[in-house]
């Protein structure tokens, strides 16, 4: 794949390699997830590697559009030896998971569910 010119917007600004799992930081720059996570969490940096702006929020938003474009480009160039990048699995947020024995019980009968007229706003 060294002879094939990869579109610049498909390259991670940190590694300069084709992004496998593009994610966007709070200021709008997109990186490959593995590289930006290493930058933020392993190296304990609080700045954007490109703009040097302070990143107050370390949340990473998947860039699905760019990922689809990269996958399409890989498919179009498969005859030249480019491998299609698999769709990454989203990381599981443990705060949203509950074990079955700790989950709240759901009323089984409709009569146990409060009528919406009896519910008031707080």
Question: pLDDT tens digits, residue range 9-58?
Answer: 999 999 999 999 999 999 999 999 999 999 999 888 899 999 999 999 99
Segment among 58-62, 77-81, 88-92 with least mean pLDDT: 88-92
Domain range annotation of the chain: 1-86
Task: With beta carbons less than 8 A apart as the criterion, state whether 61 and 28 touch.
Answer: no
CB atoms within 10 A of CB 71: 14
Q: How far is CA 86 from the centre of its chain?
A: 14
CATH of domain 1-86: 3.30.40.10
Say what the pTM is: 0.69
| Predicted pLDDT of residue 97 | 45
């Amino acid at each position: 794949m060294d002879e094939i010119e990869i579109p610049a917007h498909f390259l991670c600004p940190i590694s300069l390699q084709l992004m496998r799992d593009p994610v966007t930081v709070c200021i709008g720059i997109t990186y490959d997830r593995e590289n930006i996570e290493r930058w933020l969490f392993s190296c304990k940096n609080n700045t954007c590697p490109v703009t040097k702006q302070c990143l107050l929020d370390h949340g990473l938003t998947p860039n699905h559009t760019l990922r689809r474009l990269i996958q399409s480009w890989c498919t179009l160039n498969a005859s030249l030896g480019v491998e299609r990048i698999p769709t990454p699995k989203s990381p599981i947020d443990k705060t949203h998971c509950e074990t079955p024995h700790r989950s709240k019980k759901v009323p089984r009968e409709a009569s146990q569910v409060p009528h919406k007229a009896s519910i008031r706003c707080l």
